[in-house]
Structure 1
């Protein structure tokens, strides 16, 4: 049974190109290992969050900023007896890429963050004020200006801008396997089928896949289903139809996995996206 003291409010910022935001308090909620296709920038307001990221356990206490790069596996749970309260920004890579030139930042790749937790008091206050600003009734001009200023400060202080990735960084076998899994989300192939399709032994394929993605094939498939579920829900599909289309055993199965990954249920996510769309 969920603790009644827990709460989560998810919405999209219409003035910021549909930027996704979350304001939540969690006590016993545990995020299963998952990834985001964009960044996660979280400001911890109270308590502390504990999470595993890049194979290491981290503690983000009140007054800190936790930053996760796209496609990096991480978890989340309480790091304090009373849980944690935080505000999160989820900018997509396309949204960040579109701002790079405008912010006059060097090109050649996406910003990356080598640390997981930053104790930068000034920057924490900047993002905390920004989140509250977007949640309120501030004008589009004010929100858009504050968003750009906050990102510019974050990137200049803590981000690395890598050189363009070299071709072949991810083996062709893994790329082919990913394509096959995406094509068969509802009825995924077995490990033996995947390995045979890319001419590797099942054990060697499984190890190679985990090394390349940070998770085993079944966990990567689960994340792809959840990503596609977000897209369907955002487009107005009901949770029941979404579950049926993507191979979840039933709607409750989708709900459990969706909330473990994103902190809110699929119905709440769909309704928030619908509200945001109406205000655009």
Structure 2
């Protein structure tokens, strides 16, 4: 095998998503023998193409497509070209899928079943790929849990003939309480599930209520509050390093990136302009 063609895998459990198993892999020689999973398989092909046997026939999953396997369905997996394939995979227990539907009180008859082995749905693939990248790079539980519910709802409604979710109502007290909780915990934000429990709503219903009221999902609102608070601290001559630490940014470069994206200048430039 060409030394440049080195297979790479990263496997982990996403604690924010109920320890859902995740895999980011680049394969050239790997051949999966016929096997089953107790839960679902949801993968996004990032490059190359995969060939696999499923439900009695061969399937081809090209770049940009998604592979979807229901629980306990026998399948294989191998490269479809010499270039192999790279993909991001989710392996959620059934409860991770059904729980989202139950939160929204969507009627269902047993487990959702998906008819297609290969999906060609760019918007859905983008949603799951973004979520996977976020989990891999340590995004907050609040962000991951919200994105998971939105992606699963989109998947089920488009490809498993689920019912429509009820329209989120107006819950001003719940939204105000959630804002207060996040404001008080900018450095260590609560998860979506913690916020929902605090306001006595199901997690997904709360997320939709919050978005309707503010125009933003909870994690994006939190990001804006962090940046607003960062400006206040910088105006008071706090060093960017201390600001990043105080507000829960992973490091100063994380603060720098988000601050410049929002305001067009670095925290250091902003501090100097406001204090000199």
Q: TM-score range by the shorter chain?
A: 0.5 to 0.7
In structure 1, the partner of 2:271 is none
- CA distance in 2: counterparts of 1:18 and 1:92, whole angstroms: 9
In structure 1, the partner of 2:7 is 6
* Native 8 Å contact 2:45 2:63 kept in 1: yes
Deviations along 1:203-246, one digit per CA (max 9) or x if unpaired, are xxxxxxxxxxxxxxxxxxxxxxxxxxxxxxxxxxxxxxxxxxxx
In structure 2, the partner of 1:142 is 143
- CA distance in 2: counterparts of 1:63 and 1:98, whole angstroms: 27
SS in 2 for 1:143: helix
Question: Does structure 1 residue 72 correspond to structure 2 residue 73?
Answer: yes
- CA distance in 2: counterparts of 1:7 and 1:19, whole angstroms: 20
Query: Superposed, which structure 2 residues align to 1:231-242 within 5 Å?
Result: none
Unaligned runs of 5+ in 2: 163-276
Note the C-alpha offset of 1:107.
2.4
Note the C-alpha offset of 1:103.
3.3
* Greater relative contact order structure (CA < 8 Å, 6+ sep): 1
Unaligned runs of 5+ in 1: 162-280
SS in 2 for 1:112: coil
SS in 2 for 1:23: strand
* Native 8 Å contact 2:49 2:84 kept in 1: yes
CA RMSD in angstroms, aligned pairs only: 1.8
Q: Which runs of 4 or more aligned residues in structure 1 lie more than 6 Å from their structure 2 counterparts after TM superposition?
A: none
TM-score by length of 1: 0.55
In structure 2, the partner of 1:117 is 118
Note the C-alpha offset of 1:98.
2.5
TM-score by length of 2: 0.56
| Number of aligned residues | 162
Note the C-alpha offset of 1:81.
1.4
- CA distance in 1: counterparts of 2:104 and 2:53, whole angstroms: 32
Deviations along 1:23-71, one digit per CA (max 9) or x if unpaired, are 0001110000000000000000000000000011000000001100000
